[in-house]
Amino acid sequence: MAHPVRWLGLWWRRHFSNVTQRERRGYLVWFTVAVAIGFPEISAAIQGDGSPWPTISSTVGNLELDTGVTSLIVVVLIVFFPVTLSATRRRPSEP
């Protein structure tokens, strides 16, 4: 069996070798967002009550319990944000 790092490199090249510069920047942006949100979330979830910060879900849950408007806003975002993203179209490139 091939070394795991070598296998990962082969997989990476096979799937991402023909990616445009714009797509690379998009992957970089979303990777950065995932790390910026994921690290504190996972850290807070593992540490539990000893964490210096709350998770996003617990913060939103507390806001939902305090005000009914927050619940409505959360539901609207959950429904309309993915629909809006899926409805956006890429503009054709100009000649």
Query: Tell me: the pLDDT tens digits for 59-92?
Result: 878 877 888 787 788 788 878 877 776 666 555 5
Res 93 pLDDT > 80:
no
Q: Which residues 6+ apart lie within 8 Å of 53 measured at CB?
A: 40, 44
pTM: 0.53
The helix/strand count (H/E) of the chain reads as 4, 0
What gap in Å lies between CA 31 and CA 2, rounded to an integer?
A: 27
DSSP class of 93: P
pLDDT digits (tens, 9 = 90+) for 44-58: 888 888 888 888 878
How distant, in Å, are the alpha carbons of 6, 14, 16, 20, 33 from that of 11?
9, 5, 8, 18, 23
- Domains in the chain: boundaries: 21-52, 54-87
What gap in Å lies between CA 58 and CA 87, rounded to an integer?
A: 30
